[in-house]
Structure 1
Amino acid sequence: MDVTLADLEKAAERYKEFVEAQAEAPTPIVAVERLRLGLRNANLFTSTTDRLSVIANVLKENLPKLEPGIDIPPELPQFLDVADARNEASFADNDLRPIRFLHVALLAARAVGKITVRGYVDTEGDATGFLVAPGLLLTNHHVLPSEDFAATSFVAFDMEDGLDGKPKSPKLFDLQPSELYIADSELDYCFVAVSPTTSQGDELSQFGFLRMFEQTGKLDPNRRQAANIIQHPLGQGKKIVLRDNYFMEPPKDVLDNSGKLNSLFYGSDTLKGSSGAPVCTDEWFVVALHRGGVPLMKAVNGELRVMRLDDTLARDGDAKSSIAYVANEGTRVSRIYASLRQKALLDNEASIHAQAALNHILAVSQDPKLGPVDRSTAPLITPGPLALDLSDTQEKLIRRKPSLFNGAAGYQSSFLGEGFEVGLPELSHEVIKEVAKLRDLDEYVLKYLNYSVVMHARRRTAIYAAGNVNGSLLWKKIMQGAMPKRPSWTLDPRLDDQHQPDDSIFSTAIQRGHLFKREDAVQGANDETLSLADQHSFVITNATPMIANFNNVEWGDLEDLITRHLEEGNRVSYFAGPIFDVEDKFFYELKASVPESNRFKGMRVPSRFWKIVAWVEQDRLQTAGFVLDQSDEIRKQGPITDEIYFGAYSQTSIKEIEARTGLLFNQLRVADTYK
């Protein structure tokens, strides 16, 4: 490839602006920004095993620099003593990485391909690109500077060697700029649609995608971090940079009033053909789009000039490999988002493509807990024998008066609107024999504000919870602030204690997992109703035993996807519960030092859970079913609906959930979006 001096000089100018901004930054203002970014990195973009150490390092680096009176971010964990931060932060420059790092790298590498331009004088040669959503590729503007270039180009995946040392068979996919093409020369990015199949019928979906999260904080500014780049240098097979590859300090956005600091700079090795590669952190989150090198500049006769490796002056048309470089440059993901949002506001054809690109990316990249790639990578830690002292951490139940539940209407079948009635599930003959009936009543449905529960007498766990959620009445919509301190858990006085969960099994290892999520249950038009609904959500009948990480990650993430839909003011009804299996472990099988005679008594811990979501879309009832298990594997592959995007969660047919639970969802089965 031949270089253009004007482009190299622009890169040098961007680097100069970056260096000057870093040097001029006042310490206290920057410390606040660094503190907030570091905490965001710890909470959203760091594995659970490293989180405490990252937070400790953030405190150690920034608290001494804060001016008196500056508010500490609310994200700061109250349990962490600042005095202990120095000891906890010893990992800061540790190059050890878990083996999982390599597994996720292989998942990330699937989505990276080699781009070849056909039919034109080849000014770029081969380049790199990567999938950022189903059917959407990201590369540089200088690689595909127009729709005409893109229309004559293709991208090859699987262009790499296999474990046997032999080259794999590349899969070649045409680009489809007529479907989507949006680019920016200043930030040097280009999004383009990709054909869903090759001419031989190979599916593009097998290569997944890398999620692009808009939030800053993916890169922690308080510690040295590696810039990991997957690329096709010199048009060769896929390569990865893992050594001597560190980011320079991220830009100080708090001082960037002009919005010029659009790049990250790093020292990773790249060659011709690396343009358009993803630049990733050690957690494999994409933070930048690689665009090229920053040349060495020297003053010659009072003028700064680009230098070659042999210390002579560079000229237009020199080979890229002949230029002396001081750093590499990548366009920040957050600035690419900002550019797309600006383009989407314009009144032209490009705005349609910009909005389409945003829609595609945001559909799969809103929640960092989903991980950096299309598959869920958050670890689920299933405990071995539980430590004896874990029960000491349990929260004691209280007992509320029956009057707390007076007038509670429970689940409403007509909630989704006229013509879309969805009743409670029917119970099969086998299930009806197992229900727990209310005290002194021939009824078994426990009614609360906004939801209902039916309990399994022998298993002491809900057969199902059924809830209605009006997104326009959620706490965030009515009270405009954070939710209050949560209420204490309570027994339900309307049901015998022996049919409610044995609260002694709950601890930090096995948690009370909400079947009807607190944030969904707490809805109402005023403070009094919201407070009562909050108390109703913390009844022990609404809790089921869940391994901590499953409750907080897999189950919690699916709940969050639904919540985001609700926060737009929509209505949803959903049902959830465990799948009872004779193979479910007794709690005392998991606990250490339990006599053999007692190991198979008491409550069992369900291994699988189901959820069915129902909503109205375009005047039609739509439903989606899911089965999750506590080994973090989703049961089957299925399509994803348009109205509510369920991320990495694959659907299970409602018919299969019926077969596993003994419940009948007649209206919902007809409206199932699973195909």
Structure 2
Amino acid sequence: MATLPETRASMANRAGYDQGFLGPTVPLPVPTDPVIETVVLPYTHFSVVFRPDRRLATATAVTIDGVKLIDADRDDDWRFDPRLPDSQQAGNPVYKNNPLDRGHLVRRLDPVWGVGDEAETANEDTFHFTNAAPQMDIFNQGKELWLGLENFLLDHAEQFDRKLSVFTGPVLEDSDPPYRGIKVPLRFWKVAAFMQDGELAASAYVLDQSPDLSRDAAARALADAARAGDPPPLGAFRTFQVPVADVAEVTGLDLGPLPDADRLPRAVRAEKRWTQLETLQDVVV
């Protein structure tokens, strides 16, 4: 747990995401629309591409060294990043007295590796509001699958490099339901990159927490909740494996070499087929 208040100066030593971590260069995801303003915030072993207009990240990027991972204690000391005005970040008022969790975008333990204070600093860095987005607090099978993806892919990578670069964020739509000064994302995305047989490989996923209703009924429920000032009536998590190119399309992000490194069969990619996952054994890597 941090013992001194953070300042711009105390955060100045954060190196952030390493785009050469895997060997081939894999850059940070950035919006393809030049009108969208973002701020890149480096932390320890990860970076956040932040959209002040939405008070949320549009993308995060973390490097995971599976051989050096350390099991650090959870501190739950959520705080604002001093490099941005508090008013541009979605803080505790968004999550107070409702069924919304502060969902980590960079999973807490993913960047927690290294020597000395490095791992502990990475652990603490994940508890900035810039690394959170509202998710339903109900733990269900879909959420369990989503949270287990990095472990599954690390286990798969063990026979290769046992390193991952993982990119995660909310799908930020103009139609997302408003609540307490933000718009709550209904979908999240994740792309994992790793080396396989000497080549860059990638695998992509989408988590959907849309209301479990027909499209029209869901739209009415979301609108009614917004008028009443209530949190959106979100549904159970559904996790899909999708073509990497589809993530680039729905998010408007430039994912660099990752769409061409997709491990899904070409026929699946050509059909833009989304496969709902029931277990981690359904994942194609």
Q: Please give the TM-score of this superposition, normalised by the length of structure 2.
A: 0.74
Secondary structure in structure 1 of the residue aligned to 2:67: helix
Provide the C-alpha distance between the structure 1 equivalents of 2:95 and 2:185, rounded to a whole number of angstroms: 14
Q: By how many angstroms is 1:653 displaced? A: 1.3
The amino acid across from 1:471 in the alignment is G
Provide the C-alpha distance between the structure 2 equivalents of 1:461 and 1:426, rounded to a whole number of angstroms: 14
Provide the C-alpha distance between the structure 2 equivalents of 1:415 and 1:665, rounded to a whole number of angstroms: 16
* Equivalent in the alignment of 2:29: 425
**TM alignment of 1:161-560, pairs within 5 A:** 400-417=6-23, 420-429=24-33, 432-436=34-38, 444-476=39-71, 483-507=72-96, 509-526=99-116, 528-549=117-138, 554-560=142-148
Q: By how many angstroms is 1:399 displaced? A: 5.3
**Alpha-carbon distance change, 404 to 625 in structure 1, aligned in 2, over 3 angstroms:** same
1:490 and 1:540 in contact (8 A); partners too: yes
Q: What do the CA deviations read for 1:392-430 (whole angstroms, capped 9, x no partner)?
A: xxxxxx95223432321111111012xx2211124212x
Q: By how many angstroms is 1:521 displaced? A: 2.0
* Equivalent in the alignment of 2:194: 615
1:399 and 1:492 in contact (8 A); partners too: no
Secondary structure in structure 2 of the residue aligned to 1:670: helix
**Alpha-carbon distance change, 534 to 553 in structure 1, aligned in 2, over 3 angstroms:** farther
Corresponding position: 1:624 with 2:203: yes
Q: By how many angstroms is 1:582 displaced? A: 2.6
**TM alignment of 1:63-82, pairs within 5 A:** none
**Alpha-carbon distance change, 610 to 623 in structure 1, aligned in 2, over 3 angstroms:** same
Corresponding position: 1:570 with 2:165: no
**Alpha-carbon distance change, 399 to 604 in structure 1, aligned in 2, over 3 angstroms:** farther
Provide the C-alpha distance between the structure 2 equivalents of 1:490 and 1:565, rounded to a whole number of angstroms: 30
Provide the C-alpha distance between the structure 1 equivalents of 2:14 and 2:112, rounded to a whole number of angstroms: 13
* Equivalent in the alignment of 1:214: none
1:625 and 1:654 in contact (8 A); partners too: yes
Provide the C-alpha distance between the structure 2 equivalents of 1:544 and 1:399, rounded to a whole number of angstroms: 23
Cα RMSD between the aligned structures?
2.4
Secondary structure in structure 1 of the residue aligned to 2:22: coil
Q: By how many angstroms is 1:503 displaced? A: 2.4
Q: By how many angstroms is 1:447 displaced? A: 0.2
The amino acid across from 1:488 in the alignment is D
Provide the C-alpha distance between the structure 1 equivalents of 2:144 and 2:65, rounded to a whole number of angstroms: 19
| Identity within the alignment, % | 31
The amino acid across from 2:28 in the alignment is L
Provide the C-alpha distance between the structure 2 equivalents of 1:524 and 1:656, rounded to a whole number of angstroms: 34
Corresponding position: 1:583 with 2:175: yes
- The gaps in structure 2 that reach 5 residues or longer are 213-237, 266-285
Corresponding position: 1:667 with 2:262: no
1:399 and 1:491 in contact (8 A); partners too: no
Provide the C-alpha distance between the structure 1 equivalents of 2:52 and 2:90, rounded to a whole number of angstroms: 10
1:487 and 1:534 in contact (8 A); partners too: no
The amino acid across from 2:59 in the alignment is Y
Provide the C-alpha distance between the structure 1 equivalents of 2:10 and 2:211, rounded to a whole number of angstroms: 37
1:455 and 1:499 in contact (8 A); partners too: no
Provide the C-alpha distance between the structure 2 equivalents of 1:668 and 1:630, rounded to a whole number of angstroms: 25
**Alpha-carbon distance change, 491 to 447 in structure 1, aligned in 2, over 3 angstroms:** same
Secondary structure in structure 2 of the residue aligned to 1:491: coil
Provide the C-alpha distance between the structure 2 equivalents of 1:615 and 1:415, rounded to a whole number of angstroms: 10
Provide the C-alpha distance between the structure 1 equivalents of 2:70 and 2:183, rounded to a whole number of angstroms: 34
Secondary structure in structure 2 of the residue aligned to 1:657: helix
**Alpha-carbon distance change, 556 to 519 in structure 1, aligned in 2, over 3 angstroms:** farther
Q: Structure 1 residue aligned with 2:244, among 654, 666, 669?
A: 654
Larger Rg: 1
2:171 and 2:186 in contact (8 A); partners too: yes
- The gaps in structure 1 that reach 5 residues or longer are 1-397, 437-443, 477-482, 589-601, 634-647
**Alpha-carbon distance change, 485 to 516 in structure 1, aligned in 2, over 3 angstroms:** closer
**Alpha-carbon distance change, 541 to 445 in structure 1, aligned in 2, over 3 angstroms:** same
1:399 and 1:490 in contact (8 A); partners too: no
Secondary structure in structure 1 of the residue aligned to 2:190: strand
Provide the C-alpha distance between the structure 2 equivalents of 1:618 and 1:422, rounded to a whole number of angstroms: 17
The amino acid across from 1:674 in the alignment is L
**Alpha-carbon distance change, 655 to 564 in structure 1, aligned in 2, over 3 angstroms:** closer
Provide the C-alpha distance between the structure 1 equivalents of 2:165 and 2:89, rounded to a whole number of angstroms: 24
The amino acid across from 1:519 in the alignment is L
The amino acid across from 2:88 in the alignment is H
1:435 and 1:454 in contact (8 A); partners too: no
Q: Post-superposition, which runs of at least 4 consecutive aligned residues in structure 1 deviate over 4 A?
A: none
Q: What do the CA deviations read for 1:443-485 (whole angstroms, capped 9, x no partner)?
A: x210000110111122111010111110111114xxxxxx324
The amino acid across from 2:13 in the alignment is G
The amino acid across from 2:136 in the alignment is I
**TM alignment of 1:83-102, pairs within 5 A:** none
Bigger relative CO (Cα 8 Å, ≥ 6 apart): 2
The amino acid across from 2:82 in the alignment is P
